[in-house]
Structure formats: C-alpha cells, structure tokens
Structure 1
Amino acid sequence: MAPTQQQSSRVYKVEEESSLTLNSRRYDLDWLRVIAILILLFYHTGMIYVSWGFHIKSAEHSQPMEQVMRWLHNWRMPLLFFISGAGTFFALKKRSFGQYAGERIRRLFVPLVFGMFVIVPPQIYVEWLFRGRFSGIYSEFYPQVFNFQSYHDGGTGGAFSWHHLWFICYLFFYSLISIPLFRWLKSESGQRFTDRMGRLIARPGGALWLVGLLLVNDVALGGFFPDETHALINDWAYFMKNLILFWLGYCLTSRRDFWQTITDQRRYFLAATIVCTIILYGYRALVGPDVINASKLLTTLYSFNSLGLTWFSVLATVAYGSRYLNVNRPILPHLNEAVYPFYILHQTIILLIGYYVLTKTGLGVYDGFLVVSFSSLLVCVSIYLLLIRPFKLPRILFGMK
C-alpha cells in the first residue's frame, strides 16, 4: 500500500533532519562533557574536606565548600547522563544497533572490568590504611580483591567494587536496555510520540514540564530506595532517575528544531534554576535538615525541589552551551579524547595524593584542597600523555578508539 501524503511528509521530514544532524557535530556537548568531568575532579577532592562520608576524611571540614557541592551534586552526574543520551543519538546515526552494542562492550564493559581489578583496588587499600583496617603493603592487600566480597556488604565490606566507575556500569546497562526504545523511536509511531514531545517543548518553558517524569519516578520508587548506593541492585530510584535523563538526552537531541527551541528558551530554564536554588538553600536555612528529615512531607517536598533543580539546571546548561559553546577549537578533539581515561583515573589519583597530604603534611582545608586538586590534575594528565595515549593496549583498556 502506498504511503499517504501525511506519512510521506513525516518520513521526508525525519530523513531531512537526520541528514542535517548527521553532518553536524554538537561541539557544545563536547565542551560541556570536558567541563563537567574537570569539575568532577574538584568535587571528589572536596569530598575529603566536607562532612559527608568518603573513603578518606580530613579532620577539618569546610561548610562553604559543602554548600557549593550540595548544588553541584544535583547537577554534575545528571548532566553527564543527559549528554551520554545525546551522544547515543549521534552514535546510532552511524551504526546499526548490533554495531552500537558491540562498541558499548568495548568502550564501557572492558574499561569497567579493567578498572575493578586495576584502578579501584588502590582506593580501597588507601581507605583501609587510613581507617586502620590494614597495615601491610599493597601486594599483601591485593589478593583480597579475588575473594569477590562486595565493598557494599554489611559490616566491614570486602575489596571488590567499582567505586566511581558506577557511572560506567550504569551507562553500559542503559545503553543496552534502551536499544528497543531507540528502535521504536525510529518507527512511525515513535516519530508521532516525538512530534507530541515537540509540541510540548515548543510552548514557552515547555521542556520544564518534563520534570514530571522524574517526579513520578521519585513517588514510585523513592520510598523503597531512598538512598543513592551506586550498587545497582538496591539503587533503583537513582538508577531510573538517570536512565530517564539518558532517554531525555537522546530525544531532545534527535531533532534540529528541538535544539533551537531549547536554546531560544534558555532564560526560562535559568530562571527556574535560580528559583529552585533559592528554595534549596532557604529551605535548609529556615527549616533545618533535622526538621526536614523528621517529616515525610517536608522530605518529599525537598526531594521534589532537588529534582526540579536537577532538570532545570541541566536544561539551562545545555541551552546556554548550545548558544555559546557550539564552536570548534583545535584543542577540543584532544580534550574530547582524553576526558574518558581522565575520568577513569581521577579518583584513584585523588585518594593516593590525598592520603599522603592528610597523613604526612600539616596542610589545612583550603591549601590541602588546592594541593590535592592540582597535583591530581597534573598526574592524571601526565599518565594519559605518557602511558595511555601512545600505546594500543592501554587505549583499549581505557575505552579509547
């Protein structure tokens, strides 16, 4: 049966936009990925110097640093998952679904396994030394990894973990379980769904309403899984939250007019982000965390505001990035190549240097933070340039092309 004029028009529109998208690179997303992961290095260094739990801790804490990091916690990883979803759209323009799955195994699963046996164990070793749980040399500690006792087990826990590589683990699962959805989105019914999404975001500030997906997830799963564990099997509210952001990144990147609409409405997203930020800090200052935690209603409202801050800040970042960062520079391809191995390395280097600074020097909070941050940055860059980038095997193990 011949397609109707409406069907032909829709197919033509999709093919035309796909062709435009295929020949366009979103340099802004590359820049945002680099910026977000660089900020992550400073964030994880800051974890040593705030009151939240971390693998090694300074005896002194910084409240101003903690307040900045409270905001960053709602923004940094959600942005990376959104960008990863956008990158998936571009990847599937050039690959079949089978090729895409194979690439995800090479670029995500292989580095994850390598990291769990090589990159992460030094972090656990340093933590055990710092807490007085172990006093031997590393070669005596390392065989405990092969007991395969999870770090997240009750009590003392074991030496087998993915630690900060949880992001890679989750992204690997997201990539594979989303293939049926992405296949459907390419179909005619999927395109009709995308059309409806387009009509929503075309309204003034319309994309803000997509926060409803995150709120529904919080209502459905937040009460059962209130904490972020990064352990996969008991982290379903957080797992689904980031999966939704991954899907939204794919969908909102799939049409050129979506990009332009998001960019044009950037002031709505910035205003919404500012409002949620004021509520975040005002709520804690006026009501207090103890009162919030004691009331289920206040906890729910606080959680809803945090989800609003997450989505609105991601939208604002992507919108302003599209407006001001969608430019190529000679250094960008090199940064874009380096950022993934940099992410894999950074927390291990931070903990090794941080352990030395905490136990062997008298540095305080802010001078210690600066020394650990910039020393870790220098060491990560040096390892990448000297030991990873020039050689084939390290490139494979670190998920590079």
Structure 2
Amino acid sequence: MIFSKPLLDRCISCGYCLPACPTYAMTGEEASSPRGRISLMRALETGELPEDDGTLAEQASFCLGCRACEPVCPAGVEYGNLLEQWRDHQWRGGQRPLQARLLMAAVARPWLLRLPGLVRRHARTAASAGGPSLMLGCAERALFPRVSRAVRTLVRGLAAPPRQGCCGALHAHNGDSAAGERMAKELGKTLPGTIVTTSGGCAAHLAAHLGRPRVREASEFFVEADVLPLGTLSVDGRPARVALQDSCHLRNGLGVWRQPRELIRAVAEYVELPSAAACCGAAGTYSILRPRDSARILAAKIDEIEAAGVDYVVAVNPGCLRQLRAGLRKRRSRVEAVHLAELLVIASKQVRPDRQTDLSESGS
C-alpha cells in the first residue's frame, strides 16, 4: 500500500480546490490540480497506471506543495500528507532529484549546519534549561543570519543554542518523510521547551510531529509575548507602506496569518497584496528543482508588489525571503524584502531600549 486509504478516500472530487491551486491556474489542466493529482494517486494505488508513467512523475514534481487546497476543501482532505506519501514512493531510491539529494545530505549533518555560524554570526547562546528556544533554520544560518539576531534583539532571554540540527522539513517534502519525522523528534529533544521558529514551513512540520503546543512561529510568539514596538516606521517623513507575503505552510497548515498583519499594522501602514495568501513560487526546493515554473509564479507576484507602491514586503519564511529578494533585485526595484523580525527591529530603534521584551519579565 502506497497511500493511507482513509486519506485517499476522503476526496469527493468536488472541485473546490481547483481555483486555489497555482499550477492549475498556470495550465488549466485537470492533472495539474489537487483533484487531478489525487485521481493519479488512486490510479497508482490500484495499478491502473504503471509506476514509471510519465504523468505520475511530472505531476509529483510539478506540485508546489503549498497546501492552498486544504483550507477550501469541504471534505477536509489532508493533501500535504498525501503528497508526502506520493513522493516517498515516487522518489525512492535514485528517483529523487539530484539537487534535493545533495541538500538533504547537507542538512542531515549538524556539524555542517554549525559552520556558517563561525563566519556569518547568527544568534548563539547557551542552551535553555526548559524555557523557549529559537530554532536556527538551515538556510537562515548561512543566508540570513540577521534574522535570528533580530529575534534575540526583540526578545531578550530567548535561547539560541548552536548545537541543533535540521527540523527535517526538507526531507519530508522531498520523499523521505520517515527521516523527516526522526529529525523533528531529535530536534525536540535538543530544544526541550517551546520551540520558536522564524520559518513557517518548519513550524508546520514540527507541529505535526511534536504537537502544536510545543511550536510557535515567530509572529505568534511575538504577539503572545507582547513584542509590539511603539511608534511608526517612517520613510521620507511618512508612515512606511508595508506588504506581506504569507508562508503557505504557516497559513494553510497552521492557520497563522492574522498575527504577522497585526504586528505590521502596529508599526506601519499595512497594504494587503491581492495574492498575499498565494504561493510566491519558492516552495522549499521547488525554485531549485523547477526554476522556470517558479519564475513564472514569482513574476506575477513582483508585478503586484510593484503596483502596490510599498516600501517593504515582509516574509515569514526564509525561502520566500530569498525568492522575493531575487525577483525584486532582477527588476531593480526600490522595494526591500525583509523578514518580519527585521522589520520590527528597524521599528524598535524608534523606541526606548527598555521597551524590548525580557522573557523573565513577560512570563513567557
């Protein structure tokens, strides 16, 4: 058996998922929709389609895994779990894309993840005895070390021990969900208290394996810890105009979308992008494995950002941040892409240092 039968049987082929699916919007083809892909999964399960069928291989790869179909599904289909099961089977052995294999091999080695800290200076503290700890994301350590430092600037006392491994989301999304679950549980032992993460995708993965109460994405943690800097972020003497790009897994998997907007509104003029809730095309390794399709999705997103006349666009996921920065740089745009934590630090410079949160005082 390839798929969980109760999960596969839950789909009633109603079609509510079609308008929410980015790849269906790109092609208009049934096979490129969640409903169509579930039909392919059923054909694979029953043997109606051979395992080496070209459509199976293409659609397992073409799907962004954004899970936008889940919130709109009246039957409660857990499409993200089905996609993981599909890729576990479709990409087993040597069928997994080479780029994914190389990345997975790299993040599976904690000592290798710690190397960027020697030169990039991400946040690093002693381990917590049981209080909340900041998860140091794999990509963030090397690409965006300022993000973890920004969180520590906003919340004093939040531990950020460098001797921590990957959460396993990369493995789970690329055909090795067993390793993904094992790595999540190992991280849960390394960080025994509440785990705070600046990555929406990591938050959803950890919550699935460690339990929702143990995991807090940064924006919901900031709101709960009352990290709301006073004052208004200004650009050229006026309130800054700031847009948000949702993290797909954070919004669709965990239902977290109000908190980042609340934080932005506390310091700037918030501008809602028409497709803020839709995928930007980063989708974990998708921008690496399918760069042309990723670029098509991103182009429309950059058009929206430019048309909105904003000063900043905020991301709550490192993959989205990398994607947005690349697209804006290519357009020579004046809009700056920043992580939410970075935006709040910029705003916090306009208030007294004693407005920063100390965990020992906040009770978190």
Q: TM-score, normalised by structure 1?
A: 0.27
Greater strand fraction, Structure 1 or Structure 2: 2
Q: TM-score, normalised by structure 2?
A: 0.29
* Greater RCO, CA 8 A, separation 6+: 1
Q: Which structure would you say has the larger Rg?
A: 1
Greater helix fraction, Structure 1 or Structure 2: 1
